[in-house]
């Protein structure tokens, strides 16, 4: 055996190896334990291209881009562990269910599909999201729903079960954000931070509970949700409750506020005075 110059190797965070893949019934199981995200996502895309409809990814810890760019409404992916940044970025159809927490950037520019996180999620959730649904069980971070947008039948919907921090719905252009403030580890704090909907010029934010006017951006109008609003919201909440194993009646015990922008072009006259 030849003696190498380097006695031992540095500690590795992830290994550049293909993950172990096995099939259990109709489920394709991928063990992602310490596998680098590139090799993991190659295996996921390979399985989906080969016709797999139900994938279970085990031992996930921080691998990025899971579900990114994937298409196919009948594809279902379970993620067990902590999902890394940009989960389901640009995704177009599949359902991704995370049994654990998700890091930053979930649903970044997502087009269609469902993301269900049975835990907390980080910052910039649903950045530029333009379709599909994201259901988070617990708390979320800063800048959630930033610049969500909608076009005709493409209407993104995001429901957060816990609390959200500052800049919730910042620059929101379309779609729906729902904040429940129920499953939180910060029960002693306000359910949402400051700059709520600042720069908002489209879409709707529903809040279960109350917010102070100073928490909101100056473009935001606050009203109590009407019966018609609740008729629109209730089926979404029912769907969320089913996905998260919660009781709809509990969610409906507290009245909702509806936040909408005063103008769809708040800065229209800023640079081109009439």
Applying CB under 8 A, among 107, 128, 131, 141 the residue interacting with another protein is 141
Smallest distance, Å, CB 10 to another protein? 4
Per the structure block, which two tokens stand in for 244? 């998260």
Residues facing residue 258 across a β-bridge = 206, 223
**Contact predicate 160/144, CB 8 Å:** yes
SS3 state of residue 154: strand
Q: Count the Cβ atoms, other than its own, within 10 Å of residue 11.
A: 5
Smallest distance, Å, CB 13 to another protein? 3
Smallest distance, Å, CB 245 to another protein? 21
In the stretch 210-229, what mask flags binding to another protein with x, by CB under 8 A?
Answer: ----x---------------
Applying CB under 8 A, among 101, 111, 198, 204 the residue interacting with another protein is 101
Q: Does 167 bind another protein (CB under 8 A)?
A: yes
136 CA to centre of own chain: 7
Residue 208, classified by CB atoms within 10 Å of its CB into exposed (0-12), middle (13-18) or buried (19+), is: buried
Q: Does 104 bind another protein (CB under 8 A)?
A: yes
**Contact predicate 113/90, CB 8 Å:** no
Smallest distance, Å, CB 124 to another protein? 10
Q: Does 16 bind another protein (CB under 8 A)?
A: no
Q: Does 170 bind another protein (CB under 8 A)?
A: no
Pairing of strands 256-261, 220-224: antiparallel
Smallest distance, Å, CB 151 to another protein? 29
DSSP state at residue 164: B
Q: Does 12 bind another protein (CB under 8 A)?
A: yes
Round to whole Å and give the CA distance between 239 and 249: 13
Applying CB under 8 A, among 21, 42, 58, 61 the residue interacting with another protein is 61
Residues facing residue 181 across a β-bridge = none
Residues facing residue 31 across a β-bridge = 20, 58
Q: Does 67 bind another protein (CB under 8 A)?
A: no
For another protein, the closer CB: 95 or 101: 101
Site residues for another protein per CB under 8 A: 5-14, 61-64, 81-82, 84-85, 101, 103-104, 120, 122-123, 139, 141-142, 165-167, 185-186, 189, 194, 214
């Amino acid at each position: 055996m030849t003696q190498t110059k380097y006695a031992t190797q540095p500690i590795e965070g992830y290994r550049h190896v293909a993950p172990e893949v096995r099939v259990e019934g109709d489920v394709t199981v991928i063990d992602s334990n310490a596998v680098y995200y590139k090799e993991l996502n190659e295996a996921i895309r390979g399985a989906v291209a080969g016709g797999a409809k139900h994938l279970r990814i085990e031992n996930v810890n921080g691998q990025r881009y899971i579900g990114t760019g994937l298409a196919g409404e009948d594809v279902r992916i379970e993620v067990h562990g902590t999902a890394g940044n940009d989960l389901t970025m640009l995704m177009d159809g599949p359902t991704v269910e995370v049994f654990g927490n998700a890091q930053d950037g979930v649903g970044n520019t997502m087009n269609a599909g469902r993301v269900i996180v049975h835990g907390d999620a980080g910052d910039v959730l649903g950045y530029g999201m333009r379709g599909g649904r994201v259901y988070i069980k617990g708390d979320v971070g800063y800048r959630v729903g930033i610049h969500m947008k909608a076009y005709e039948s493409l209407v993104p919907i995001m429901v957060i079960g816990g609390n959200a921090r500052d800049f919730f719905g910042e620059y929101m252009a379309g779609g729906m954000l729902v904040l429940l403030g129920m499953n939180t580890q910060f029960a002693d704090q306000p359910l949402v931070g400051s700059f709520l909907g600042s720069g908002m010029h489209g879409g709707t934010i529903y809040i279960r509970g109350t917010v102070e006017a100073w928490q909101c951006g100056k473009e935001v109008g606050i009203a109590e949700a009407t019966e018609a609003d609740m008729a629109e919201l209730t089926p979404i909440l029912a769907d969320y409750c089913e996905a998260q194993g919660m009781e709809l009646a509990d969610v409906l015990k507290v009245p909702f506020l509806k936040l909408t922008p005063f103008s769809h072009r708040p800065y229209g006259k800023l640079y081109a005075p009439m």
